[in-house]
Structure 1
Amino acid sequence: MIYIKRALQLTMRQQVFPKERWTECEDKFYLE
């Protein structure tokens, strides 16, 4: 499941990037 995979990536990113940063990137990803 791609959503599970993305969720795991977000969890890992959360430890590195501020929530606002990766949320913007994900919004662009889903809009494309």
Structure 2
Amino acid sequence: PFRNIFKNCMYYWGFAAWMAYYINHPLYTPPAYGE
């Protein structure tokens, strides 16, 4: 079904954009980099 594929794409890209926002956010400091 086309709608199901479209929904999956939107979910995937939405998640990727959300992750990219938090990873690239200047105020975000992941524990991996630490001090």
* TM-score band, normalised by shorter chain: 0.3 to 0.5
Q: TM-score, normalised by structure 1?
A: 0.45
Larger Rg: 2
- Higher RCO (Cα < 8 Å, 6 or more apart): 1
